[in-house]
Copies of this chain bind each other. A is one copy, B any other.
Amino acid sequence: MTAVHRRSEQARQAILQAAFDICQQKGYAGLTIEGVASRAGVGKQTIYRWWSSKGTVVLDAFLDALGPTIDVPPAGDHLADLRRSLHSTADLLSHPRYGPMLADLVGALQHDEALAADFQQRVYEPIRRQTTERVERACAAGVIRHIDANLAADLLFGPLWFRALLMRQPPSTDYVDEVIDALLRGLAGSTPGAGGRE
């Protein structure tokens, strides 16, 4: 009744490890299925059997290696938790090895719907959920003004990814703090009533 000769865990790990290594060394574009198969000592078919594209392999490899580090446990102070989440993301983006890999992965997302959905579900949603919860708690505690939690998450994480992907200058620790402080303070100046709407 059940499947027989089940999937080889050894092959799975060898493949993910090889993919991760190659992606670090030669970048996402330099990673080929043949290369992964060869380095993992595995047949190409074994890769195609379980993954639909090189993007999904890399995503799996990424999560297998870094998944645990993405989650930032809470420490009580809502605002501080948020700040630590941002630092964690900034650190990842700034990491000499994982940063470019992650950026590459996001790049690949742009022309691969399936990969994008996978990334959304497995990487982005968890972070998002954690963030919005913390924003909501901070709102409830009166630490930050009432605001749509998703919008707040965009305001917090947007600048980090922006620098990493568009300007290709991964965000430093100080930069994260500057972003948060500026956000808390707000941009509004002394001239009352200004809003610029036309």
Residues of chain A at the chain B interface (Cβ within 8 Å): 27-30, 77-84, 100, 103-104, 106-112, 116, 120, 124, 138-139, 141-145, 147-148, 151-152, 154-155, 157-163, 165-168, 177-191, 194-198
Q: Which chain B residue lies CB-closest to A145?
A: B189
Q: Determine if A196 and B157 form an interchain contact, defined as CB atoms under 8 angstroms apart.
A: no
Q: Determine if B194 and A79 form an interchain contact, defined as CB atoms under 8 angstroms apart.
A: yes
Q: Which chain B residue lies CB-closest to A146?
A: B189
Give the docked Cα–Cα distance between A83 and B187 (Å).
13
Interchain CB contact (< 8 A) of A159 among B116, B158, B187, B197: B158
Number of this chain's copies in the assembly equals 4
Give the docked Cα–Cα distance between A148 and B159 (Å).
14
Q: How far is the CB of A85 from chain B (nearest CB, A)?
A: 11
Residues of chain B lying within 8 A (CB to CB) of residue A103: 110
Q: Determine if B152 and A179 form an interchain contact, defined as CB atoms under 8 angstroms apart.
A: no
Q: Determine if B179 and A197 form an interchain contact, defined as CB atoms under 8 angstroms apart.
A: no
Q: How far is the CB of A59 from chain B (nearest CB, A)?
A: 14
